[in-house]
Structure 1
Amino acid sequence: MFRNLAAALLLGLTPMFSGMTIAAPITYPATTTVPQSDTSFGTSVEDPYRWLEGDVRTQKPVADWVAAENKVTQSYLATLPGRDAIKVRLTQLFDFERVTVPEVRSGRIFFRRNTGLQNQSVLMVQDGTAAPRVLIDPNLWAKDGATALAEWAPSADGKRIAYAIQDGGSDWRTIKVLDVETGQILADDLDWVKFSKIAWNADNYGFFYSRHPATPKGKDFVSAVYDHNVFFHRVGTPQTADTQIYASTEHRGYYNEAETSPDGRWLVIRSSTGSDDSYEIRVQDLSDPASKLTTLIAKRADDWRFAGNVGGSLYFATNAGAPRYKVVAFDKLTGAPRTIVAEGKDTITGAHILGDRLVVTALKDASTSVRRYSLAGAPQGQVALPGLGTAAGFEATPGTAVSYYSFASYNTPPTLYRYDAATNTSTAFNAPKVAFSPADYVVTQVFATSKDGTKVPIFVTHKKGLDLSKGAPTLMYGYGGFNINVLPNFKVGALAWMEMGGVYAEVTLRGGGEYGAAWHDAGTRLQKQNVFDDFIAAGEYLIKSGTTPGNGLAIQGGSNGGLLVGAVVNQRPDLFAAALPAVGVMDMLRFPLFTEGRTWTDDYGDPADAAQFKNLYGYSPYHNIRAGQDYPAIMVTTADTDDRVVPGHSFKYAAALQAAKIGDKPHLIRIETRAGHGSGKPTSKQIEEIADLWTFIAHWTGLKK
């Protein structure tokens, strides 16, 4: 039924690669320029659109500009055919049950569930074998659906939930506490929380969390923030009574996150700049009232991922002396750890202690494998997975060898499994029923050769039987930064694109962590150009191999990926038919001045350094738009409440694009209201945005509607 309806709605969505007509040039809003130049290391840099860095919520000229730009964008999109059909089909594809990996506390199972088209997922609790019941429904919090449930954590006895509220997509959080039995929201109200875990103590009367001092009124969405410190909150007391547990007073820019071991015995605090995976580690034995925080790792040089404990032995996955990671155990709080699982060819991403076994997840060419070991490190085989994809979960539940994990791929929505480490068996816990057949799609992995000879993996996914004799319009996605892994996963938007007759390609770029520390380092600072070269090489491969025609390639990336898209469009405008840079870092000279931007210098480099300034200025999307070149069609996207990559980056970039002589194809910006960097975005807003984007790139890649 669904597939037949889709065919009716999307009738005629077949590839067409010639005869694309460029409409008359768009009349963009008049954007005021204000003379502004800065001189750094002898170089004068013009910045005529700096006024667009202002907060859209409080500065009327910026708000007026946003309204005018959105009007032009929506007017243009209304001229393109097929948007209504795409939106209808997206609504159908989103309409399936989505359940997160459960957490078990004292027999109670907690998980989030979205029935399909709910704007926000609902927190559920299941008491033993009883039917699940609603615990927290954030859909009741705001009429526009833009207030979300963010982080949450149940106490060890399962009697309370501490949870964070996110409003309008902002990174700021407010933490509250709920009684699980009665559903009563307690009086606890914790503000100025950002990038925090919630870690209950073993006695269940309080939890550790991280917060900043209050930010000056009106500056909470743009100003740089410091002093991210760890506190302990006792339930039933005011926030003013919270105890400060740790503050990195010598490094006010550090982020300090606290977690407790599954058995509640150990407090582990990791301190970093927030943008690179290198940490100082401090621990405390909470079972000993006389114990104090002890520094386990004093030098912030390596990644340390806490894996759990066996009594007094603390297990970590680390890249210290092992670029592709190993698993070690500290038996004492002084001295070197012992190696449990040595570094291998694949990149270890995490480890979990389940009963008397160690479960280790790793990446082989950016696809998950899961291996089993004794607690001493003796190999005990693998956990069988359904295929090429991504497995996540395996969180420990004290006193049992049972855990849960999810598996997903480009053609497979997340399916949840209950895993028994004692018997090495997986049983389905939740398998979504979807409005398409996963078997109708094929996932392959190919390799492009980058400029310096590096092999760059590309996952290529499309509908089986797609005629590629002349290539098909292709959407290529990339990220490439901050040691973040881009792995096979299910995206409703990507599926809709493939269903329309397109190819979806995802590139494993340097700068990520898929092949370990060396792979990440090769895409940072003065080597950032490698990331752009990798992405360009992937695009050239897809064209040369016949996957897509020369005028059929669209590209997409968000945040650091938005920077990627902006940079490669400047460097190779001839290669792409359309580009979708989202919430991107577009001004590489001023990014450290706003919110979390100062922390990104570990990956990007610091514009206050002469050599790094020259490198950043050389690829900064805002500063390197090439007048006289014929640019692809571009739709920039951002949101008015993005307080991670402030929207001024995208505003300035879009204004510069529209002012430059770069051809007659549209160069538009779509600015979402009551939304942020991406997390917490309501389902309804996601559907509207994807429909707009796919309508735009379908037209400009020749996917005829």
Structure 2
Amino acid sequence: MTTKVVWNVTIPCFLLFHFFREGELDAGTETNINLNHQIYYHVMGSDQSEDILCWKDPEHPKYSFGASVTEDGKYIVLSIYEGCDPVNKLYHCEISSLPRGIEGFRGTEELLPFVKLIDNFDAQYEVVANDGDEFTFSTNKSAPKNKLVRVNLKNPEFWTDVLPEHEKDVLESADVVNNNHLLVCYMSDVKHVLQLRDFGTGNLIHQLPLEIGSVFEISCRREDKEVFIGFTSFLSPGIIYRCNLASTIPEMKVFRETSVPGFDRTRFQVRQVFIPSKDGTKIPMFIMSKKDIKLDGSHPTLLYGYGGFNISLTPSFSVGRVVLCKNMDFVVCIANIRGGGEYGEEWHKAGALAMKQNCFDDFVACAEYLISDRYTSSKQLCIEGGSNGGLLIAASINQRPDLFGCALAHVGVMDMLRFHKFTIGHAWTTDYGCSDKEEEFHWLIKYSPLHNVRRPWEQSSDNHCQYPATMLLTADHDDRVVPLHSLKLLAVSYIYIDEAADRYGFMAKMLGASWTE
């Protein structure tokens, strides 16, 4: 199977776009492994068959690629990924040096002459801006919380730091605006902070006012004096701020705000607490509820988590959560467990590979806090997660069935011994490991949901408990976490139930026992 990758470029009449699968019947239920990504150049209005092949690497069929064109149109920058870790190789091609441009490669077998700048997977590099041959990158090289560095492509041996790694906060993004300013977004205890800095030195110029929440988009170009900033929080459906960076003191003015009929934010409260996990690590958790609720253990509660792949669960608005809180007196909680990116790459790695059990321990600690602090009881506590979060939910109910009253697992990765054999699953081995390797097999078999289903009487003496009511959700067109994960887990659970019913039904019949109540 060949996967075609194309990308967006600011050259009139041309389009390069992303990830398109060709050459196979798309019934939506395929499980074949995704291999041999390629990058093509597409002219708008032309037939796809006329696309120009720009890059492939048949010697490394599991590699995936991303490509972008610099704002000045001079360079194509190629990022190469081996899995889901925040690491990549980085190549570049100077378009202006091609005698006939990309069109000169039409009908040939040649690939674009990319030059290797970074040719190993030891760190992540993302383009922030370039001045001709001089590039500024965001990287986690020797900086788990990220920093900005600068290098000249014509003299690639010499790199300089522009903005060093912050001691506590994670550098989320950096954009060059107003010609020589940096608009920098940090994540501080799972909340975003915006700063205006000097592009040349990285020195702080202004801290921009921002309430507690998340920046979900920054729209700007280098020459722009104005920037548009998308913001959300648990109590803000969506605000687009307009900020004039040329003014002496930049102001964040509301350009457009989303309103939800019937929603009064003053009736709700959001707290952030920090809970010690099994090993003492403090785990952040957001708690949303009506104001001034009584902590009497009576509230139905939803606890949501993810914990993987360097993905952070920052504050965001959800009508569904508001309905639960407003109309059903729910407490809604978001647990920022290890495995995510909330505190940088070290936090991610502390919940990956051999350390994956930390994710489940963190989640259990958050659940126990909600019970011990009298928000809820175990019978009224529901846990929810999807994909890697679905794995989290299934593993949690295997390990602590006594702690939850209900569980919702969306499209979970349930078979940890074979996930790498289906579609893009091979890319997840960077977070989970792979059962083909003996040491990693022993990590995975300990928590794989499919392989740790237990009959209630097989639980240890302190965990002798029925499973909570559980809903498994999947989709026959999910080509990422294929349906077989949830279906296999469901089948195993049914087999255990049917086996017990048959065994004890036979025993009752033979002994003449009858149902009394």
Shift of 1:306: 2.0
Q: Aligned equivalents of 1:208 and 1:288: distance in 2?
A: 23
The residue type paired with residue 430 of structure 1 is R
Q: Which residue of 2 aligns with 1:489?
A: 316
Q: Evaluate the alpha carbon distance shift between residue 483 and residue 425 of structure 1 in structure 2; reply closer, same or farther with a 3 A threshold.
A: same
Q: Identity percentage over the alignment? A: 35
Contact 2:288 2:333 in 1 (8 A): yes
Q: Which residue of 2 aligns with 1:541?
A: 369
1:156-305 mapped onto 2 (5 Å cutoff): 198-207=7-16, 209-212=18-21, 214-215=23-24, 221-289=30-98, 292-305=113-126
Of the three residues 164, 174, 180, the one matched with 1:342 is 164
The residue type paired with residue 259 of structure 2 is K
Contact 1:462 1:503 in 2 (8 A): yes
Of the three residues 129, 132, 140, the one matched with 1:319 is 140
- Indicate the RMSD between aligned Cα atoms, in angstroms: 2.3
Q: Aligned equivalents of 2:391 and 2:48: distance in 1?
A: 39
Shift of 1:469: 2.8
- Residue 396 in 1 paired to residue 224 in 2? no
Q: Aligned equivalents of 1:206 and 1:576: distance in 2?
A: 50
Q: Which residue of 2 aligns with 1:642?
A: 478
Of the three residues 324, 327, 330, the one matched with 1:502 is 330
Q: Aligned equivalents of 1:473 and 1:322: distance in 2?
A: 41
TM-score by length of 1: 0.64
Deviates more, 1:544-553 or 1:598-607: 544-553
| Count of paired positions | 472
The residue type paired with residue 520 of structure 1 is H
Q: Evaluate the alpha carbon distance shift between residue 520 and residue 363 of structure 1 in structure 2; reply closer, same or farther with a 3 A threshold.
A: same
Q: What secondary structure is seen at the aligned counterpart in 1 of 2:347?
A: helix
- The answer for unaligned runs of 5 or more in structure 2 is 100-111, 457-464, 501-517
1:435-450 mapped onto 2 (5 Å cutoff): 435=261, 436-450=263-277
Of the three residues 390, 397, 413, the one matched with 2:237 is 413
Deviates more, 1:566-575 or 1:240-249: 240-249
Q: What secondary structure is seen at the aligned counterpart in 2 of 1:513?
A: coil
Q: Aligned equivalents of 2:436 and 2:482: distance in 1?
A: 20
Q: Aligned equivalents of 2:304 and 2:73: distance in 1?
A: 41
Q: Which residue of 1 aligns with 2:205?
A: 380
TM-score by length of 2: 0.87
Q: Evaluate the alpha carbon distance shift between residue 219 and residue 428 of structure 1 in structure 2; reply closer, same or farther with a 3 A threshold.
A: closer
Q: Which residue of 1 aligns with 2:106?
A: none
Of the three residues 641, 658, 667, the one matched with 2:494 is 658
1:546-561 mapped onto 2 (5 Å cutoff): 546-561=374-389
Contact 1:262 1:396 in 2 (8 A): no
Contact 1:211 1:231 in 2 (8 A): no
Q: Which residue of 2 aligns with 1:154?
A: none
The residue type paired with residue 90 of structure 2 is I
Q: What secondary structure is seen at the aligned counterpart in 1 of 2:375?
A: coil
Shift of 1:313: 2.2
Q: Which residue of 2 aligns with 1:307?
A: 128
1:595-610 mapped onto 2 (5 Å cutoff): 595-610=423-438
Contact 1:347 1:362 in 2 (8 A): yes
Contact 1:201 1:208 in 2 (8 A): no
Q: Aligned equivalents of 2:171 and 2:305: distance in 1?
A: 22
Q: Aligned equivalents of 1:428 and 1:658: distance in 2?
A: 54
The residue type paired with residue 331 of structure 1 is N
Q: Aligned equivalents of 2:48 and 2:493: distance in 1?
A: 47
Shift of 1:445: 0.5
Q: Which residue of 2 aligns with 1:479?
A: 306
Shift of 1:471: 4.2
Contact 1:212 1:227 in 2 (8 A): no
Q: Aligned equivalents of 2:28 and 2:404: distance in 1?
A: 38
- The answer for unaligned runs of 5 or more in structure 1 is 1-171, 173-190, 665-705
Of the three residues 164, 170, 177, the one matched with 1:354 is 177
Q: Which residue of 2 aligns with 1:580?
A: 408
Q: Evaluate the alpha carbon distance shift between residue 337 and residue 213 of structure 1 in structure 2; reply closer, same or farther with a 3 A threshold.
A: farther
Q: What secondary structure is seen at the aligned counterpart in 1 of 2:143?
A: coil
Q: Which residue of 2 aligns with 1:631?
A: 467
Deviations 1:276-328 (A, max 9, x none): 21100112232333594221211111122222223332222111010111011
Q: Aligned equivalents of 1:273 and 1:498: distance in 2?
A: 42
Q: Aligned equivalents of 1:535 and 1:238: distance in 2?
A: 50
Answer 1 or 2: higher relative contact order, Cα 8 Å, separation at least 6: 1
Deviations 1:573-618 (A, max 9, x none): 0001100010000011111111111111110001101111121111
Q: Aligned equivalents of 1:525 and 1:546: distance in 2?
A: 34
Q: Aligned equivalents of 1:209 and 1:626: distance in 2?
A: 43
Q: What secondary structure is seen at the aligned counterpart in 2 of 1:281?
A: strand
